[in-house]
Amino acid sequence: MRVALLLLLVAAVSIIGVQSTSPPICTNVKCADQHCNPVSCTCGSYKGSCGCCDVCYKCANTPCIILHQDICEDGYECKLNDPDANIFQGAEGTCVASPSTAAPHGHAHH
């Protein structure tokens, strides 16, 4: 009985985790109908998950949370502060220079 209950609990948590981190379904989204808050971004912006609203990139050396789908500015990646932390529990990281694009002063050359 306990094993079945434990398996049910694990299955429920897994399903909730997948649903909460899955991208939204955008097939019926009309950008004209969306209310987008104005943004003023220091490090640039990109279109959000359905391509309608602007979202700010996280700047170099600032906190980021992978679970929140924070995206760091070009040439940087969100690296967990504690490598053993669980990203599905909202573990925090920092935007650091990507090893593949690291250049002087941490900026990539394009």
Spatial distance between the Cα atoms of 110 and 108, rounded to a whole number of angstroms: 6
The model's pTM is 0.64
Identify the CA nearest to 93 among candidates 106, 107, 77.
Answer: 77
Spatial distance between the Cα atoms of 11 and 13, rounded to a whole number of angstroms: 6
From first to last of its 110 residues, the chain has per-residue pLDDT tens of 664 555 555 444 444 444 445 667 898 888 988 889 999 999 999 999 899 999 999 999 999 999 999 999 999 999 999 999 998 899 999 999 998 765 544 443 33
Identify the CA nearest to 44 among candidates 16, 3, 72, 12.
Answer: 72
